[in-house]
Structure 1
């Protein structure tokens, strides 16, 4: 007589699959930031009602607000070249699945930005506090709060060359 699958095993596999899908979501978000892709950036959040708090960049009750800030800052160009160059690396994911369609997570961010308008380079770190929900069959961010721990900003200097 064949044994029926262990329901505990199925639940553990579903939890691990959810965690991997959430990691992929956060990575899509980070790549969208660095690639200056506003459509993909916005698509990482729920359609309506996300709780967003990015500190100095603002707090919003919907992802449309932070998407507008993203476009205004990240897409700036002078003479057809980008003037804000970003590099986002999220590390140390700590993801908890609360059910089939809800989860939360924390990530440490390493962030580097070159601002050609100001002639500066900034390096900073901080912590993301996220919540996730399944919407239209995919995990999306329903909350994304960021708290910066510290930052260093220094001049690029005349000998610095930036290629893009």
Structure 2
């Protein structure tokens, strides 16, 4: 592999890292359009276990918007420990650990979740997009609400 190919590979891996961070930050900010833009158009796979499985981005975004986009829901997504593998020029596979913290601002109830994303990314028209994401939770702690 020559220097130009190595640099292109590093740039691709960094673009995927930034894409995943943009997605997680958009979830915390309730930025629905940025969430949508992180995923490829057309047939994709979003499998979030008990939350649901989706074959295209718009049905996932609609569910996200109905569940999370209100003042009561405060979310914090922390993606860590990425293991990214450059498969071919325009495709990357990734594994991410997730620490998720959620607060119900009205009741004070909390939820902490740990798990792993298994993702696939593809460069489409020069832009990296998520084409497959599977999340599996490994642990969950639920705190009681503070309201009576």
- Aligned partners of 2:107 and 2:145 also within 8 Å: no
Give secondary structure in 2 for the equivalent of 1:48: coil
How many residue pairs are counted as aligned between the two chains?
Answer: 147
Aligned-pair distance for 1:155?
A: 1.6
What TM-score, normalized to structure 2?
0.94
In the alignment, structure 1 residue 90 sits paired with structure 2 residue 79? yes
Matched, 1:49 2:43: yes
Which residue is equivalent to 2:34?
Answer: 40
Name the larger-Rg structure.
Answer: 1
Pair 1:130 & 2:130 matched:
no
Kept after mapping to 1: 8 A contact 2:107/2:146 = no
Superposed CA RMSD in Å reads 1.3
Following superposition, the deviation at residue 100 of structure 1 comes to: 1.6
Q: Which runs of 4+ in 1 moved over 3 A?
A: 116-119
Asked whether the equivalents of residues 109 and 143 of structure 2 are also in contact (C-alpha less than 8 Å), the reply is yes
User: What runs of 5+ residues in structure 1 fail to find an aligned partner?
Assistant: 1-6, 77-81, 159-164
- Aligned partners of 2:145 and 2:12: how far apart in 1? 42
Write out per-residue CA displacement over residues 29-60 of structure 1, whole angstroms, 9 at most, x where no aligned residue. 01100000000001000011110100111001
Q: TM-score, normalised by structure 1?
A: 0.85
Deviation (angstroms), 1:137:
1.0
Secondary structure class of the residue paired with 2:88: coil
Structure 2: gaps spanning 5 or more residues: none
Output aligned runs, 1:72-151, within 5 Å.
72-76=66-70, 82-116=71-105, 119-151=108-140
Q: Partner of 1:98: helix, strand, or coil?
A: strand
Q: CA deviation at 1:118?
A: 5.2
C-alpha deviations, 1:91-123, integer Å up to 9, x for none? 000011112211110000000001235541001
For residues 139 and 72 of structure 1, the distance between their equivalents in structure 2, rounded to whole angstroms, comes to: 27
